[in-house]
Amino acid sequence: MYGRFIRDGIAVEPLVLYLQQTSIEIVVFDQEQALQAAEIFPLTKPYGLSLGDRACIGLAKIRNLAVLTADIAWTEINGLNVDVISIR
């Protein structure tokens, strides 16, 4: 997330301070999530999902949560074993 701000020349310090004041949880990408993301790669490859996309889905699987997405392609993937909810 911070990389995009840095890439676009936007200072990240204000963002860090803002996020610390919210209830948003920043989750470390760990080995369990990496395994989940890797395991769904064959299912997601035809749809062009990124590592970040797969990390999101993997975390949802681990925590037994649904994922929210604006990417319609996610709703077309069979076998993810997670509820995908389109916000469009």
Domains and CATH numbers, the chain: 2-86 (3.40.50.1010)
Q: Which residues contact 48 (CB under 8 A, 6 or more apart)?
A: 73
Selection from 88, 23, 30 nearest residue 59 by Cα: 30
Provide the pLDDT for residue 32. 96
Burial of 55 (0-12, 13-18, 19+ CB in 10 A): middle
**What is the tens place of the pLDDT at every residue in 23-68?**
988 899 999 999 999 999 999 999 999 999 999 999 999 999 999 9
